[in-house]
Amino acid sequence: MNSAQRGQALEADEPLPLKTALTYGPPIFGLACLHFMVQLYFMKFATDVLLIAPAVMGLIFGASRIWDAISDPAVGLMCYRTKARMGRCRVWMLGSIPALALTFYLLWNPPLFLSSQALVIWVAVLLIAYYTSDTAYDIPHVALGQGLSRSYDERSRIFGMRQIGWVCGILCSLFAIKVLSSAEDQRAATEVVTLGLIPLAVVIMMIPVVFQREGQASLSGSQVEPRKNFSAFKDVFKNPHARLVLFVWFVDTMGFGTIGLLSSYFTHYVVGRQDLIALFLTIYIASGLVGIPFWVSLSAKFGKSRVWSWAIAITGVSTGLIFFVGEGDYYLYGGLLAIAGFCFGCGNALGMSILTDTVDYDEYKTGVRKADVYSASWKFSSKFGHGLIALISGALISASGFVPNEVQSEGTLLAIRGIFCGNTFIFFMLAAYLISRFSLNREEQQDIARLLKERKGS
| pLDDT tens for each residue of 185-220 | 888 899 899 999 999 999 999 998 888 876 543 334
pLDDT at residue 101 is higher than 70: yes
pLDDT at 457: 67
Residue 1 has pLDDT above 80, yes or no: no
What is the per-residue burial (b if ≥16 Cβ within 10 Å, else e) of 53-85? bbbbbbbbbbbbbbbbbebbbebbbbbbebeee
What percent of the chain has a predicted confidence (pLDDT) above 70?
92
Averaged pLDDT for residues 307-331: 93
Average pLDDT over residues 310-321: 94
DSSP state of 259: H
Nearest-angstrom CA–CA distance, 48 and 104? 19
Q: Residue 15 — pLDDT band, cuts 50, 70, 90?
A: low
Give 185's DSSP letter.
S
Query: What is the C-alpha to C-alpha distance for residues 169 and 94, in angstroms, rounded to an integer?
Result: 19
Least confident of 86-90, 156-160, 268-272, 416-420: 86-90
Counting Cα atoms < 13 Å in the Cβ hemisphere of 74 gives 9
Element (H, E) at 50: none
Specify the pLDDT at position 124.
Answer: 92
> How large is the average pLDDT for residues 31-41?
88
Helix, strand, coil percent content, the chain, rounded in steps of 5: 80, 0, 20
pLDDT of 403 higher than 70: yes
**CA dihedral (163, 440, 301, 24) positive or negative:** negative
2 pLDDT exceeds 70? no
Q: Average of pLDDT values for 100-123? A: 92
| Coil, strand or helix at 200 | helix
CA–CA separation, 401 and 411 (whole Å): 8
Residues 6+ apart with CB under 8 A from 88: 79, 80, 82, 140, 214, 224, 372
317 pLDDT more than 90:
yes
Mean residue pLDDT of the chain comes to 83
Residue 68 in this model has a pLDDT that exceeds 50: yes
Please tell me the predicted confidence (pLDDT) of residue 72.
Answer: 73
Higher per-residue confidence, 405 vs 340 = 340
- What is this structure's pTM? 0.73
Instruction: Find, among 37, 57, 39, 38, the residue nearest to 47 by Cα.
Output: 57
Q: Residue 237: pLDDT above 80?
A: yes
Phi and psi (nearest 5°) for 440? -85, 95
Q: Measure Cα distances from 117 to 41, 273, 298 in Å.
A: 21, 31, 52
- pLDDT score of 151: 79
For 298-310, what is the mean pLDDT?
Answer: 92
Mean pLDDT in residue range 266-286:
86
* Averaged pLDDT, 79-93: 78
Predicted pLDDT at 83: 76
CATH architecture of the domain with range 20-457:
Up-down Bundle (1.20)
Rounded average pLDDT over 27-44: 88
CA–CA separation, 99 and 56 (whole Å): 25
Tens of pLDDT, residue by residue over 408-429, are 888 888 988 988 898 899 999 9
Of the candidate ranges 82-86, 120-124, 225-229, 381-385, the one whose mean pLDDT is the lowest: 225-229
Task: Work out the percent of the chain whose per-residue pLDDT is above 90.
Answer: 27
Q: What integer is the mean pLDDT of 265-281?
A: 85
Q: What pLDDT does 230 receive?
A: 60
Q: What is the pLDDT confidence band of residue 14, given thresholds at 50, 70 and 90?
A: low
Is the CB of residue 224 less than 8 Å from the CB of residue 368?
yes
Residues 349-397 pLDDT 10s: 888 889 889 988 998 888 888 877 887 788 788 878 877 887 788 788 8
The values of phi and psi at residue 74, to 5°, are: -65, -45
Dihedral sign from CA coordinates of 86, 89, 91, 97: negative
Contact 355, 374 (CB under 8 A): yes
What pLDDT score does 430 carry? 95
Give tens-digit pLDDT for 435-453. Answer: 999 988 888 888 888 888 7
Using 50, 70 and 90 to split pLDDT, how confident is the model at 154?
confident
- The full set of domain ranges for the chain reads 20-457
Q: What mean pLDDT is predicted for residues 230-234?
A: 72
What pLDDT is attached to residue 224? 44
